[in-house]
Chain A
Amino acid sequence: MKISVSNILGVLAICVAAISNVNSQILNGPGQLHGSVEIDAQYYKPDSAIGAPKVPEKMGLNSFAQLDYTNGRISAGIRYEAYEDALQGYDSRYNGNGIANKYIKYADSTMSITVGNFYEQFGSGMVLRSYWNYSLGIDNSIDGVRLLYNPYKGIYIKGLIGHQRYYWAEGAGIVRGADAEIHLNELIPNWDQHKTGIILGGSFVSKYQVADDPTYNLPANVAAGAGRLTITNGGFSLYSEYSYKANDPSAINNYLYNPGQGIITKLSYAQKGLSIELTGERIDNMDFKSDRAAIKNDLDINYLPALPRDETYALMAFYPYATQPTGEMGFDGEMRYTLPKGSLLGGHYGTDIDVEYSAINALDTTNLNDLTTTRQGYTASFLGIGKPTYFDNLTIEVKHKFSPKFRMIVQYCNEVYNKDIIQQETGFATVHADIGVFDGYYRLSEKHTLHFELQELYTKQDQGSWAYALAEYNFGSDWFVGALDEYNYGNSIAAQQIHYFTLTGGYTHNALRISVGYGKTRAGILCVGGVCRQIPAADGFTLSITNSF
């Protein structure tokens, strides 16, 4: 629903004035106004060589402006968004403009009430997480009412109800949720002195959607629950969460009626110079949307965390992992160690080493062949590891500072990537790749820095091998210019051995950042936390402006 900005601000002003007249303790002076703004624009040139399509409007623009006002116990805010039209790779249902988010919140020492749009997460997010990720084009905010209650020290309760944002409308389903968390060390007298900390948590979420199908008896109400435990002791920390979802036939799971389960357990140890983290995860039919017909990332109620970390280097992120909500079994282990300063291998400044291994496979399932009867679909061994392998990755990273002027990061990765499963393509099978990164920073002077990267992706599958080079020069503490090239030298088709050359430049000062670019971008996928968006090939100018206040 689009609402004019003036209407919203008028309502906010009236509310603030009314409350200030009623209770001077709620408000505190003139209050504070904060905000942020971002504009991303791109001019598109058709380029058949790289598959950049002809864009009829020739230009896309994504933008938003967020305003938040706080005064004592009252806060309120709006976010205006404009997609004129949405950049390529973003869903065209965003096209247009309007107020995408508005809220008013009252909060005191024990209670907080929010009406309007809000974001919330229960535990790890396996039963509920609403969030906004501008770069992915995801906003599943809940438009309704949320209550946070802290009745006693150590007890935290949440309750919420509402519809999810669905582009410029709302999703078909109603989402209801409650969460309770008990911090024993706060609750029990004298436990705050204990070395061991314990937190217990539980969540319950249900959705309602009209069920009217000529073929299936669909559940109008679908519920999910989760329990979690956190134990800390010195450098050790254990987090474990189990979630269960009742029958939820949907477009994602082919209208199966089997329940969903998810479990994630994370054990970590940290001390000065060393940290180790081990994570195990099992997901079985845990896609949870407020509209059973929704697909892709639309109307997700929950969030299934991805085990592998998000990569920032271009070729390291070439084959990113997307969490498989229908089922996966995974393990991730990471160790970070700092070779001490002054040691033989650590050098004068010390050396950081990071080794991470991730392995994710299908569940070990047995088909029940019951699609004409109970539609449970399959059974899955709880600890079994099935085939195929979805993702297998060993990454080694070394960071070293050679001198006050020069520091370097070197990364190596060996990756097995099931593109058919992860990107839901067909015919690409599994990609085996070796990736190397050399990233260096050289400080020429106090205000001048040279940054360069060399990357290599070696594979015999898919598009073949790639090389990447970047040079970026920062000068005057606020300005930067750069050039980069991605070259698909290993493509088996000579005509597709293309250079994707780009020039960039920009200005940063405090919170303001302006950047411009010109060149070609290859088609790819952007993933953040296992949630992904397709990026189409493009050729042309780009402009990005961000600021906050």
Chain B
Amino acid sequence: MKLKNIKGLVGILSFICLALSACDKINNPIISKGNNVGIPSSGLTRVTSTNDDDLLKVLVEDFTGHLCTNCPAAGAQCEALVNSTNGNQVVLLQNNVSSLAKAVPKGYYPGLPDTAYCNDFIALADSEWDNVFIDGTANGMPATMVDRLYFNGTPYSPNVYSKENVSVPFDSLIGTSPTAKIHIADSMYAPPVSTLSMSITATLIAPVAGVKYYLVVGLVEDSIYDWQDSVSHNIQYYLKRMTFRTAINDGGHGWGDTLSAGASPQTKHYTYANTAAFRYNSAVVSVPPKVPARLWNMAHMYVIAFVYQVTGGQHNYVVLQAQKLHI
């Protein structure tokens, strides 16, 4: 097959040029947050709420630890899912668990700064989920779960997907209809009171008799820079996405509040305050961070909530719906 004349060559070149002319020049890198840009000057509350409650959102949990050398790779896989075409249907949690997430004493690693790996991101709920689902200390990490679906029935990790398979169960879920809805409305008082209050409305769609349903509500902080061990080196400023900080209900435990097995909307109100840890800095995340990793930057916080069922057997703990809202 040959082009007979120069016109064919011009045609091919034109096609190539058109196809490759794509280049986006960005003049305003930072997305304007509108009312969320800075601390409310009047000191009054600022209220926001979710508006996509009918969309099925999948809970993707990345069990990780700052001493886990292969965990950045799993984090990258989850990040890819968040950045994918259906990323708006992902509620990502990074749960710090096991001995690989434990904080070490100051100066523990010779050759590194004294403060390397001294921060502890393990929440009470993280440890409880680890005991039931992962057992990271015994089985190693990383480990990921998608809606806590039952995977292969191995004795210690019945709900665990290997990190490279995260997209497989996710893709199978996103086209399905949700069996629950979650609406979040939150408000935050400006410092120094710094009390967070929120309303969570959960609606079960066609609940099944005999099945128990629970609502878990928590706080997640995005974009924390802190130490991470990677395959080839220690990273001083590793970007941690969507780190689970604490459960808000159930006294900080990971099993949530009971929902009635009915189809009517059920609204629960919660408040949470942690004056010692709360900070607020809405500047874009940078290195070194404006707010140290051990403190909670409320400007990057999300309220997350998910509904799960307890049935016994293979569908135990399966998450039916998840939701998140930036504070």
* Cβ contacts under 8 Å, A294 to chain B: 76
User: A75 in the interface, Cβ–Cβ < 8 Å?
Assistant: no
Segment 2-28 of B: residues with Cβ below 8 Å from A: 2-3, 6, 9, 12-13, 16-17, 19-28
User: B251 in the interface, Cβ–Cβ < 8 Å?
Assistant: no
User: A426 in the interface, Cβ–Cβ < 8 Å?
Assistant: yes
Tell me whether A246 and B83 are in contact (CB under 8 A): no
Tell me whether B112 and A247 are in contact (CB under 8 A): no
Tell me whether A246 and B3 are in contact (CB under 8 A): no
Tell me whether B20 and A371 are in contact (CB under 8 A): no
Tell me whether B76 and A293 are in contact (CB under 8 A): yes
Tell me whether A371 and B23 are in contact (CB under 8 A): no
Once bound together, how far apart are the Cα atoms of A92 and B29, in whole Å?
A: 35
Tell me whether A161 and B3 are in contact (CB under 8 A): no
Beta-carbon nearest neighbor of A249 in chain B: B29
Q: A207 CB to closest chain B CB, in angstroms?
A: 9
Beta-carbon nearest neighbor of B286 in chain A: A371
Tell me whether A217 and B1 are in contact (CB under 8 A): no
Q: A155 CB to closest chain B CB, in angstroms?
A: 9
* Cβ contacts under 8 Å, B88 to chain A: 212
* Cβ contacts under 8 Å, B239 to chain A: 251
Beta-carbon nearest neighbor of B87 in chain A: A212
User: A271 in the interface, Cβ–Cβ < 8 Å?
Assistant: no
* Cβ contacts under 8 Å, B16 to chain A: 159, 178
Once bound together, how far apart are the Cα atoms of A209 and B84, in whole Å?
A: 9
Q: Mostly helix, strand, loop or mixed at chain B's interface? A: loop
* Cβ contacts under 8 Å, A251 to chain B: 239
Once bound together, how far apart are the Cα atoms of A92 and B70, in whole Å?
A: 8
* Cβ contacts under 8 Å, B236 to chain A: 426
User: B113 in the interface, Cβ–Cβ < 8 Å?
Assistant: yes
User: A176 in the interface, Cβ–Cβ < 8 Å?
Assistant: yes
User: A413 in the interface, Cβ–Cβ < 8 Å?
Assistant: no
Q: B210 CB to closest chain A CB, in angstroms?
A: 40
Q: A233 CB to closest chain B CB, in angstroms?
A: 31
User: B211 in the interface, Cβ–Cβ < 8 Å?
Assistant: no
Tell me whether B31 and A161 are in contact (CB under 8 A): no
Q: A486 CB to closest chain B CB, in angstroms?
A: 21
User: B273 in the interface, Cβ–Cβ < 8 Å?
Assistant: no
Given contact pairs A219-B25, A222-B24, A293-B83, A427 touches B31 in the complex (Cβ within 8 A): no
Q: Residue B26 contacts which of A151, A169, A217 (CB distance < 8 angstroms)?
A: A217
Once bound together, how far apart are the Cα atoms of A106 and B116, in whole Å?
A: 56
Tell me whether B19 and A161 are in contact (CB under 8 A): yes
Beta-carbon nearest neighbor of A56 in chain B: B140
Tell me whether B20 and A372 are in contact (CB under 8 A): no
User: B175 in the interface, Cβ–Cβ < 8 Å?
Assistant: no
Segment 253-309 of A: residues with Cβ below 8 Å from B: 254-255, 257, 291, 293-296, 298
Tell me whether B164 and A257 are in contact (CB under 8 A): no
Tell me whether B20 and A217 are in contact (CB under 8 A): no
Beta-carbon nearest neighbor of A298 in chain B: B76
Tell me whether A257 and B26 are in contact (CB under 8 A): yes
Segment 137-194 of B: residues with Cβ below 8 Å from A: 163-164
Q: Scan A183-212; emit 1 where CB is below 8 A from any B CB, else 0.
A: 000000000000000000000111011111
User: B99 in the interface, Cβ–Cβ < 8 Å?
Assistant: no
Tell me whether A151 and B83 are in contact (CB under 8 A): no
Beta-carbon nearest neighbor of B300 in chain A: A215
Tell me whether A426 and B111 are in contact (CB under 8 A): yes
Beta-carbon nearest neighbor of A167 in chain B: B164
Q: Residue A427 contacts which of B12, B112, B164 (CB distance < 8 angstroms)?
A: B112
Tell me whether A210 and B286 are in contact (CB under 8 A): no
Tell me whether B2 and A111 are in contact (CB under 8 A): yes
User: B73 in the interface, Cβ–Cβ < 8 Å?
Assistant: yes
Q: Scan A88-130; emit 1 where CB is below 8 A from any B CB, else 0.
A: 0001110000000000001010110000000000000000000
Beta-carbon nearest neighbor of B2 in chain A: A110
Once bound together, how far apart are the Cα atoms of A178 and B28, in whole Å?
A: 29
Tell me whether B20 and A177 are in contact (CB under 8 A): yes
* Cβ contacts under 8 Å, A343 to chain B: none
Once bound together, how far apart are the Cα atoms of A210 and B1, in whole Å?
A: 37
Beta-carbon nearest neighbor of A106 in chain B: B1
Segment 178-229 of B: residues with Cβ below 8 Å from A: 222-223
Q: Residue A373 contacts which of B22, B30, B79, B82 (CB distance < 8 angstroms)?
A: B30
Tell me whether B29 and A374 are in contact (CB under 8 A): yes
Tell me whether B25 and A169 are in contact (CB under 8 A): no
Beta-carbon nearest neighbor of B284 in chain A: A372
Given contact pairs A91-B231, A426-B111, A221 touches B30 in the complex (Cβ within 8 A): no
Q: Residue A206 contacts which of B1, B22, B113 (CB distance < 8 angstroms)?
A: B22
Tell me whether A216 and B31 are in contact (CB under 8 A): yes
Given contact pairs A176-B19, A246-B23, A425-B234, A293 touches B80 in the complex (Cβ within 8 A): yes
* Cβ contacts under 8 Å, A111 to chain B: 1-3
Q: Scan B63-87; emit 1 where CB is below 8 A from any A CB, else 0.
A: 0000000101100100110111101
Tell me whether A151 and B164 are in contact (CB under 8 A): no
* Cβ contacts under 8 Å, A205 to chain B: 20
* Cβ contacts under 8 Å, A255 to chain B: 29
Interface CB pairs A-B, < 8 A, 9: A111-B1, A168-B164, A217-B26, A217-B30, A221-B22, A372-B284, A426-B111, A426-B112, A426-B236
| Nearest 8 Cβ contacts at the A-B interface | A223-B23, A219-B24, A427-B111, A221-B22, A534-B232, A424-B233, A371-B286, A375-B29
- Contacts from A to B (Cβ < 8 Å): 91-93, 106, 108, 110-111, 147, 149, 151, 157, 159, 161, 167-169, 172, 176-178, 204-206, 208-223, 246-247, 249, 251, 254-255, 257, 291, 293-296, 298, 371-375, 423-428, 532-534
For the A-B complex with A106-B1, A293-B79, A293-B83 known, give 10 more contacts whose Cβ atoms are closer than 8 Å.
Answer: A91-B231, A169-B164, A204-B20, A214-B31, A215-B223, A216-B29, A217-B30, A257-B26, A425-B234, A534-B232
